[in-house]
């Protein structure tokens, strides 16, 4: 188990896009700016998807142009296709990484992007190639890597095969997404060594949802399997609309609290992160699912003796 891990905050994209009420651009910017001052070194800030598909992210360009983050904070954007990449590249000096995505399930991929897996791979090869030519780091995320609500079991060999094609296209990082919260710790512990053996040359990232309350347990299982890179969302924002009652991504502050208490460094200032979560709670006007934002960080200060 590693002594340090890397965490990418995906709340401003993966989290915000699931909110039903439009979040003002000004609020998005100040939340990102706060997150960038917590010690987080990687933040996914927005996506260049069609505005009519995800209206919440229609202000992608405005957000990118307005954020003010310290040196050393890497900003990433999600791009669905070549057109999305073209729009993003108009603001090339404002971000450092791109993420692309597809599903390991044919049914989920068709419902999500109206393409077969093969068609998605054909398009993503072009996107990844152009992104690398532009000097951008590229992560490819494989959704439903641990199971699909439509097809059930997703063969691990299929996931590894898709990942290999993405790596051969130029992806430097592969994210394995538990999109609908179907993963369990034993499964996670067994699969990541297989994927590491198949993909020895790239960074492997775990992306867990907390739909069934197993997010932190899956993080621990991935750590035990040697994973050092994770994605999470402050306030437990996000989630997939497919499973009934789905909650969001595993909460960043819960992950950071657990890891730091275990002596595993994240480089993140937990109290500052809790402040950011309080800010987004106030913006959204509703309670959030994360635990540390409610209970606060662990306080090991001895209680004063009673009189």
Q: Is the pLDDT of residue 225 over 80?
A: yes
Structure tokens at 19: 């909110």
For residue 242, what pLDDT is reported? 67
Query: What percent of the chain stands above pLDDT 90?
Result: 92
Quick: pLDDT tens for 110-140: 999 999 999 999 999 999 999 999 999 999 9
Distance (Å, rounded) from C-alpha 75 to C-alpha 95? 5
Q: Is the pLDDT of residue 47 over 80?
A: yes
Domain layout of the chain by residue ranges: 6-295
Please say whether the structural domain 6-295 has been given the CATH code 3.20.20.70.
Answer: yes
Mean of pLDDT values over 197-212: 96
Distance (Å, rounded) from C-alpha 50 to C-alpha 60? 10
- pTM (2 d.p.): 0.95
Across the chain, what does the average pLDDT equal? 96
Q: Is the pLDDT of residue 54 over 70?
A: yes
Whether 240 is catalytic is yes
Residue 155: phi and psi, rounded to 5, are -60, 130
The pLDDT-based confidence of 78 (bands split at 50, 70, 90) is: very high
Residue 283: phi and psi, rounded to 5, are -65, -45
The pLDDT-based confidence of 305 (bands split at 50, 70, 90) is: confident
Q: Is the pLDDT of residue 279 over 70?
A: yes
> Three-class SS of residue 250?
coil
Structure tokens at 119: 């068609």
285 dihedral zone (left: phi>0; alpha: psi -120 to 50; beta): left
Q: Is the pLDDT of residue 219 over 70?
A: yes
Which residues are CB-contacts of 159 (< 8 A; sequence separation ≥ 6)?
104, 142, 145, 176, 191, 195
Mean of pLDDT values over 279-285: 97
**Which member of 240, 259, 270, 273 is catalytic?**
240
For residue 1, what pLDDT is reported? 77
Which residues are CB-contacts of 75 (< 8 A; sequence separation ≥ 6)?
43, 44, 45, 64, 67, 69, 94, 95, 96, 97
For residue 158, what pLDDT is reported? 98
For residue 2, what pLDDT is reported? 83
Q: At what angle do helices 270-284 and 25-35 cross, to 10 degrees?
A: 170
Mean of pLDDT values over 78-96: 97
Kind plus residue range of the DSSP H or E element containing 18:
none
């Amino acid at each position: 188990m590693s002594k340090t891990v890397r965490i990418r905050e995906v709340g401003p994209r993966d989290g915000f896009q699931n909110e039903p009420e439009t979040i003002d651009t000004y609020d998005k910017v100040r939340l990102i700016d706060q997150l960038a001052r917590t010690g987080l070194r990687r933040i996914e800030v927005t996506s260049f998807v069609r505005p009519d598909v995800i209206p919440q992210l229609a202000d992608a360009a405005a957000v990118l142009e307005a954020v003010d983050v310290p040196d050393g904070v890497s900003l990433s954007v999600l791009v669905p296709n070549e057109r999305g990449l073209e729009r993003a590249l108009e603001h090339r000096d404002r971000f450092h990484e791109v993420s692309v995505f597809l599903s390991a399930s044919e049914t989920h991929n068709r419902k999500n992007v109206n393409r077969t897996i093969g068609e998605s791979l054909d398009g993503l090869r072009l996107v990844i190639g152009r992104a690398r030519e532009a000097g951008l780091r590229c992560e490819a995320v494989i959704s439903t890597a641990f199971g699909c609500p439509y097809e059930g079991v997703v063969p691990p060999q299929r996931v590894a095969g898709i990942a290999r094609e993405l790596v051969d296209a130029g992806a430097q990082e592969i994210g394995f997404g538990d999109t609908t919260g179907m993963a369990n710790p034993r499964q996670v512990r067994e699969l990541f060594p297989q994927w590491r053996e198949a993909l020895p040359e790239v960074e492997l990232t775990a992306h867990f949802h907390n739909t069934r309350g197993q997010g932190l347990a899956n993080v621990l299982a991935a750590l035990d399997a040697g994973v050092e890179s994770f994605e999470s969302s402050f306030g437990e924002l996000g989630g997939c609309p497919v499973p009934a009652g789905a909650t969001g991504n595993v909460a960043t502050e819960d992950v950071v609290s657990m890891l730091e208490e275990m002596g595993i460094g994240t480089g993140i200032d937990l109290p500052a992160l809790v402040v950011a979560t309080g800010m987004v709670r106030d913006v959204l006007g509703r309670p959030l699912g994360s635990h540390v934002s409610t209970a606060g960080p662990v306080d090991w200060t001895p209680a004063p003796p009673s009189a």
